[in-house]
Chain A
């Protein structure tokens, strides 16, 4: 699900150092390099995505996130980004700690399980949701944690992580209008700007 997350460019200082953890094909890093002149590096494990980064001239480091981020020194980046990866990691809370150890600020995005489509899918069909946002069967999915943005904010509070900004994204009408009334029901993707 590709939401437009151009607004996060405003959260990133021009010329700063950015680490994109799970950078995919490097589109976001290429845009940050061209628009914000950042010195960016992406971590990725998928060979095809790595190839796309190389062709874009995006700095990409082949890296298995399950082996941790110990290679990176404390506060060695201004911003550490992680888009749509948190829900696929074994210990998301420890990864959040690592993001804010390495970066002065963190930006994370994740699919909001509180969205009405997933709720309706589970409650009416009695089956685990397979939606555009979460397009996998339960037995073969990279997404091993399901949580809502309210769960995420509770975790941030527990671990004394400051929320600098948040943005809730959704597709289509009337969801976009209703989002302001019932954000948890109508948000598909949550985007957070964090610090410690």
Chain B
């Protein structure tokens, strides 16, 4: 027990420390891509570091499918730091000593911002399956309203991995004057058929759970735990690489014995691990949010409204880009990052592209990696130098 305390204290000094989420009711109506208007919506967010006098040093962090606003630092009742604590903090690549960092839980998610689990003001009951469908641009527009609330006129950078990278790209096209840099990590201009297939299997798993009740499980006082856990298990496998699973689990057994003459059931370590991850996830994530946000991923197509020409699309951008991929990421493979980099070059935009060697699959964007940390840190520290030089 004392060991745990000292570990936490050590991490605290290297992190942004104790943090508390903030909540804001955005009272401007938000017209969604589907045509539905949200008259108002709640956003939960965290900030780290200080906004400078010129309000020019703000970085927006965009979370992915299952992420939230708690990107860095610690809550009093939780020994684990925020989901991107390796990358956000004092002296870290996204340096809280130099930048004002904003991370918001996006609408449609389930960590306090308006989403399927929130009450629909028209009915007084949870939106459930009736929450309007969302696009990445809806998240961008909602973030734009939060930006105004925080008195920020232009982001120094919008940064995100996976679906977060899609938001950064959408920002560059929808509000080209509102960001100086877009950092697009382990992302893609659109999902492949294989990617959509995995998402549909996950959705089907959720909907097949009898407790899903067509999405109205909250009114029935039920939670589709098994379906959501299964959805997460499928997703989790695709976020790791074969090599890593081999290294981490191999064919090790958690229980039982494969010797002949034994009848008791055998459990592989990987089975136990996946079941644990699935169960844990189903305790805190909302099934309707999972369906909604996986659909949002499927629908994203950067260049759809630009005659399917990514070069024509990126011509609208004015910011500079950093694109990052990971060698063993097969859900958002390096080839997808290179495609968007090539489109940016053809569009005449400033862009750098780095391909990081990693065994960690898609999850690599969240994990420590020296080269990735140095590259992101080097890129952003030049930006910080420029901002501080301009003061």
Q: Interface residues, chain A, CB within 8 Å of chain B?
A: 17, 39, 41, 47, 50-51, 53-62, 71-73, 76
Q: Interface residues, chain B, CB within 8 Å of chain A?
A: 322, 338, 341-342, 345-346, 348, 350-355, 371, 374-375, 378-379, 381-382
Contact for A62 among B354, B374, B379, CB less than 8 A: B354
Closest to B379 in A: A54
Give, as a whole number of angstroms, the nearest-CB distance from A58 to chain B.
8
The main secondary structure of chain B at its interface with chain A is helix
**19 extra interface residue pairs, beta carbon distance < 8 Å, beyond A53-B352, A62-B353, A71-B338:** A39-B348, A41-B351, A47-B371, A50-B375, A54-B322, A54-B375, A54-B379, A54-B382, A55-B381, A55-B382, A59-B352, A60-B352, A61-B341, A61-B345, A61-B351, A61-B352, A72-B342, A72-B345, A73-B346
Residues of A within 8 A of B355 (CB): 62
Q: Is the CB of A55 within 8 A of B351?
A: no
The main secondary structure of chain A at its interface with chain B is mixed
Residues of A within 8 A of B375 (CB): 50-51, 54
Residues of A within 8 A of B374 (CB): 51
Known interface pairs A41-B345, A47-B371, A71-B338; A59-B350 also in contact (CB < 8 Å)? yes
Contact for B352 among A47, A54, A71, CB less than 8 A: A54
A and B contact pairs by CB, cutoff 8 A, 21 listed: A39-B348, A47-B371, A50-B354, A51-B371, A51-B374, A51-B378, A54-B322, A54-B352, A54-B375, A54-B382, A55-B381, A58-B352, A59-B350, A59-B352, A60-B353, A61-B341, A61-B351, A61-B353, A62-B354, A62-B355, A72-B342
Question: What is the CA–CA distance of A71 and B379 in the complex, to the nearest angstrom?
Answer: 24
Residues of B within 8 A of A76 (CB): 345-346
Residues of A within 8 A of B378 (CB): 51, 54-55
Which of the listed residues A41, A50, A58, A62 has the most CB atoms from chain B within 10 Å of its own CB? A62
Closest to B357 in A: A47
